[in-house]
């Protein structure tokens, strides 16, 4: 992990501000969703990218009832249901 040398304090509501240089470098814009991970005492922020609810794939997604589903998962489900061979 690479240190940026940037230190920020939490405000009274527990928020931090990401510096504009960091946001530009990582391609994060205002209102972009960020995913939060915890790993061995570290907090990791990552720009959120939707993934298939079944396989986790991020390729060839369609929206179904507010959920992301890969076309390959739809084909597999159709085979399991006996709709296609």
Q: What is the pTM of this model?
A: 0.61
Q: Side-chain half-sphere of 66: how many Cα atoms within 13 Å? A: 0
**pLDDT above 90: residue 3:** no
Q: Does residue 24 contact residue 41 with C-beta atoms inside 8 Å?
A: no
Indicate the SS3 state at residue 44. Answer: strand
Instruction: Go through the domains of the chain in sequence order and give each one's CATH number.
Output: 1-48 (2.10.260.10), 49-85 (no CATH)
pLDDT exceeds cutoff 90 at 9: yes
Taking the alpha carbons at both ends of the chain, their separation in whole angstroms is: 47
| 16-26 average pLDDT score | 92
Contact 44, 36 (CB under 8 A): yes
Tell me the pLDDT tens digit for each residue of 31-60. Answer: 999 999 999 999 999 988 889 999 999 999
Q: What is the pLDDT of residue 4?
A: 84
């Amino acid at each position: 992990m690479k240190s940026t040398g940037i230190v920020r304090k939490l405000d009274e509501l527990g928020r931090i501000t990401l510096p504009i240089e960091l946001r530009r470098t990582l391609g994060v814009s205002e209102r972009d969703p960020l995913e939060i991970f915890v790993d061995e005492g570290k907090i990791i922020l990552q720009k959120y990218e939707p993934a298939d609810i079944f396989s986790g794939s991020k390729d060839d997604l369609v929206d179904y009832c507010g959920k992301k589903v890969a076309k390959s998962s739809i084909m597999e489900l159709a085979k399991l249901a006996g709709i296609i061979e």
